[in-house]
Amino acid sequence: MSAPVVTNLATPLSEAEVLRIREDFPILQTQVNGHPLSYLDSGATSQRPLAVLDAEREFASTMNSAVHRGAHTLAAEATELFEDARSTLARFIGADDDEIVWTSNATEAINLVAYSLSNASAGRGGAEADRLRLREGDEIVATEMEHHANLIPWQELAARTGATLRVIPVDDDGALRLDDAAAIINARTRIVAVTHVSNVLGVINPVAQLIAMAREVGSLVLLDACQSAPHLPLDVKELDVDFAVLSGHKMLGPTGIGALYGRRELLEAMPPFLTGGSMITTVTTTAAEYLPPPQRFEAGTQRVSQAIALAAAADYLTAVGMPRIAAHEAAFGRQLVDGLSAIEGVRVLGAGIDLPRVGLASFDVAGIHSHDVGQFLDDLGIAVRVGHHCAQPLHRRLGVTSSTRASTYLYTTQSEVDAVIDGVAAAIQFFRRGA
């Protein structure tokens, strides 16, 4: 089943269009605890339309086979679909086909880059890789709002190479302190790793300014696009980043599939991360020669059905229209911030940041643990995320240990946004009566 083709890309999705889209998502027709499911946890894992479910099922049912290995018909068909999926995802983010590396998720993609830089620093990869080598005195820059997946790999890279990890701080609202960034990013900076959209604050960071700072000093840039690729038009070439990562399960695709974008010339210079079959040209008992990228970074049996399904997800999003999805979510993001902030005792993290945002808001309720708020909402059939959202440093900076997060997507309705706001108000009344 194909996605509904939506025209007039300058306007948000109408309620009628959203209801039509929801028909493609079987899980949204279910009930939870006697209530219709209101799924407001797409920032963690999005739901999958029939087009995605059918793509993976059809491959498994009719042409399941290993890719790049066999001469028989099924192997050839599988390889063609697998590489077509790579091309589809490349178009979706404005990359070239050979600049997309399949990974299990964005976490693996970031680790791929960090470990490849480690291998270059250890002298692997020859003269081409030497320019990627990190040495003692070099610096890696991340931000205080990063997901742990875009922080811990850089901590480990610094420990392995003797480089120093520096962190751009946020202000009291949670916004990046760009003045501090201008001082932190300097001639010793080798790579800047930054999230495009905060998974806690929902704000779209001014990454163009950070990229410009990095370019002035000759630094590489890695963009965490996990919360932007599903929700915003994304063009990695236009942004001028060296690397970008995304996860399929956040953009209507299956789990177990993600991707790394890397500039072709950088991928060609990088030594491999994982080694084994499928990424080699010649092997002896003492040495091996490696394929060019992207296959150099795709050791072992690949995620064929998942890649095909992720391509179907990208096609679905393209058919609906990323600009319209962005407009739809921006409206809901503002409604969540305003509606929740109006409730006495609720603090929306990042509410004071004057930046565009996606449809996501994390909040703290005075005197009530986030898990209790989440459980109360779940009793009403409303699914939200609770905890620190793999962003402990940011929560610590903002003075909270955890928060409740509501996140929307193209299938979210106005009534669901209203329901979560009303549900939080009801939760406060419930717990205060019991106090």
Specify whether the CB–CB gap between 54 and 263 falls below 8 A: no
Please report the beta strands in 287-433, taking only residues with DSSP state E, as ranges in sequence order. Answer: 288-290, 346-348, 360-365, 382-383, 385-387, 403-407
If you search the block for the tokens 């929740």, which residue do you land on? 340
390 is catalytic: yes
Amino acid at 406: A
**CATH 3.40.640.10 domain span(s) along the chain:** 55-318
Strand, helix or coil for residue 274: coil
CA atoms of 278 and 297, how far apart (whole Å): 9
Predicted pLDDT of residue 124 = 83
The predicted model scores a pTM of 0.96
Helix (H) or strand (E) holding 129: helix 126-130
Predicted pLDDT of residue 128 = 80
CA atoms of 415 and 421, how far apart (whole Å): 10
Per-residue pLDDT of the chain (435 residues; tens, 9 = 90+): 445 544 444 599 999 999 999 999 999 999 999 999 999 999 999 999 999 999 999 999 999 999 987 789 999 999 999 999 999 999 999 999 999 999 999 999 999 999 999 999 888 888 888 889 999 999 999 999 999 999 999 999 999 999 999 999 999 999 999 999 999 999 999 999 999 999 999 999 999 999 999 999 999 999 999 999 999 999 999 999 999 999 999 999 999 999 999 999 999 999 999 999 999 999 999 999 999 999 999 999 999 999 999 999 999 999 999 999 999 999 999 999 999 999 999 999 999 999 999 999 999 999 999 999 999 999 999 999 999 999 999 999 999 999 999 999 999 999 999 999 999 999 999 998 865
Residue 84 Cα distances to 67, 93, 295, 311, 419, angstroms: 12, 15, 15, 8, 41
Strand, helix or coil for residue 405: strand
**CATH 3.90.1150.10 domain span(s) along the chain:** 15-48+321-434
Q: Using the CB atoms, write b or e for 236-256: b if 16+ within 10 Å.
A: beebbbbbbbbbbbbbbbbeb
CATH topology for 15-48+321-434?
Answer: Aspartate Aminotransferase, domain 1 (3.90.1150)
Chain centre to alpha carbon of residue 264: 21
Point out the catalytic residue in the list 76, 390, 400, 425: 390
Predicted pLDDT of residue 7 = 43
CA torsion 234→237→242→247, rounded to 10°?
30
CATH 3.40.640.10 describes domain 55-318? yes
Q: What is the DSSP letter of 433?
A: H
Helix (H) or strand (E) holding 423: helix 414-434
Predicted pLDDT of residue 94 = 98
Predicted pLDDT of residue 271 = 94
